[in-house]
A and B are shown apart, each in its own frame.
Chain A
């Protein structure tokens, strides 16, 4: 199937948000044709720096999407943003070394606000738990390696800083997502950070404590 094309070059921030989330989510129907997320088959023309700044803006003021879109639309949209399929996804933009590092770092840091102001309250199905898996797994499987220095190190540090802040939010989904990301990021500060997390939360359930300890050893799935 030929991908459909969309030119985002002249999109305003509001139009970009509509592009991401205002999607018809088909009901499950055993008789229906194959069901594919919209972002699997779309070719996007865009200006990377502009779109990265739009993401930062969205993450800094995420409450607006709750009023405008359904939970299913949010789930699908946040998967489009974090995943590798969409040409202009955050996943792709963070890998774009033509984009100034400071712009990408600001985008990552703004994700703290996304978790604090939206994901802590809006319990989506899987997009929140998998967010940092999507962005950190390269360090787990060896695609990226801190010892190589350069962006592998600098990006890892920015991700770690952001995850460390999210880990201490008073929200179980946020803590779970942060532990998941830390378990894949392989940052040298992880053990110490999780030890502090466990010390400050002596009443964690047995399962959550076990998950935190597994994350400290980079043994999460």
Chain B
């Protein structure tokens, strides 16, 4: 396991962890927009991301992990209807290709882990 990221993941398939990210999304002119974001929980298959921009369900995003330097393409699979008190929205993303090293965390299997 690299360093101590999520060192105590124990037997859970999903870890509550704040990871600094950059999100790259295409705007209407097909340019990439960059935004600061954070993952708030992470799994082998994706994660729950907090960020300010409005995104759509099924939208594809490039996600850059500022802690590991890894980048992955992902897709929005869930949007929380309510924003958080500080104004951020929450979106669940799934990786479009297996990205086991993206978070820098080892995920043991979990009996009832839910895929985000």
Q: Is A115 engaged at the interface, CB distance under 8 Å to the other chain? A: no
Which residues of the partner chain A approach B114 to less than 8 Å between Cβ atoms? 140-141, 221
Closest to A89 in B: B8
Binds A, one of B54-62, B74-82, B94-102: B74-82
B-side interface residues, number (CB < 8 Å): 45
Q: Is the CB of A130 within 8 A of B67?
A: no
Query: Chain B: interface secondary structure?
Result: loop
Complex alpha-carbon distance, A173 and B38, angstroms: 19
Contact A221 B78 (CB under 8 A): yes
* B85-A173 in contact (CB<8A): yes
Task: Flag if B110 contacts A84 (CB, 8 Å).
Answer: no
CB distance from A25 to the nearest CB of B (A): 10
**A142: Cβ under 8 A from any B Cβ:** yes
B73 within 8 A of A: no
Contact B85 A172 (CB under 8 A): yes
How far is it, in angstroms, between the C-alpha of A134 and the C-alpha of B18 when the chains are bound? 11
B3 engages A84 (CB within 8 Å): no
Residues of A within 8 A of B20 (CB): 35-37
**Total interface residues on A, using CB and 8 Å?**
44
Given A130-B40, A207-B81, A210-B81, are A143 and B18 also a contact pair (CB < 8 Å)? no
Bits for B1-41, please: 1 = Cβ < 8 Å to A, else 0: 00111111111111111101010000000000010101011
Q: Is the CB of A85 within 8 A of B7?
A: yes
A102 within 8 A of B: no
Q: A34-B67, A221-B116 are in contact. Are A141 and B3 (CB under 8 A)?
A: no
CB distance from A169 to the nearest CB of B (A): 13
Residues of chain B having any CB pair with chain A under 8 Å: 3-18, 20, 22, 34, 36, 38, 40-41, 48, 50, 66-69, 78, 80-82, 84-86, 88, 90, 92, 110-114, 116
Query: Measuring CB to CB, which residues of chain A are less than 8 angstroms from any residue of chain B?
Result: 1, 3, 28, 30, 34-37, 40-42, 79, 82-85, 91-92, 95, 123-130, 133-134, 137-138, 140-143, 172-173, 176, 205, 207-208, 210-211, 221
Q: Which 9 A-B pairs have the closest CB atoms?
A: A173-B85, A84-B8, A142-B111, A123-B85, A35-B66, A207-B81, A134-B16, A125-B86, A79-B18
